[in-house]
Amino acid sequence: MLKGIDPLLSADLLYAIARMGHGDVLAVVDRNYPAHAAGVEVITLPGIDVTRLAEALFTVFPVDTFIPEPIGRMQVVGEPDTLPEVQRELFAAAETAEGREIGIEPIERFEFYERARSAFAVIATTDDRPYGCFLITKGVV
């Protein structure tokens, strides 16, 4: 048991993100994403949506400051400029925790799948809102 750490941040999740280095990428995905198909470590968070995860994650996970767009988002098919609520909420949580504006990279769906295969780990939420899929580059403390 740890004091001052959000209880949503399980031992498995903390262990995975603690092993990551600067520039490593973490995939955060919704329940529709084929998480295990990426072929990397998957941490499943039953009953947790993307927004709740983001609020907890960004209390301990630094977002990269060396690249212009350290958070990638899966584009809505046929509407690449649309920002679903789930995406706006994750971006707001990141910017609040970081105290700065954060660049966002739109990523076409199949390119997202390909890039997620190179992620350090995948955090699979059970958020049922579509397009709750992100690639987040870790920064330094």
* Reported pTM: 0.97
Which one, of 24, 112, 89, 28, lies nearest residue 63 by Cα?
A: 24
Q: What is the mean pLDDT of residues 32-40?
A: 94
Q: Is the per-residue pLDDT at 85 higher than 80? A: yes
For the chain, give every domain's residue range: 23-137
Instruction: Give the confidence band of 2 by pLDDT, cuts at 50, 70, 90.
Output: confident
Active-site residue flag, 22? yes
Residue 24 exposed, middle or buried by CB count within 10 Å (0-12, 13-18, 19+): middle
CATH 3.40.1650.10 fits 23-137, yes or no: yes
Residue found by looking up tokens 């709740």 in the block: 52
- Quote the pLDDT of residue 38: 86
Q: Tell me which of 15, 19, 22, 118 is the catalytic residue.
A: 22
- Mean pLDDT score of the chain, rounded to an integer? 97
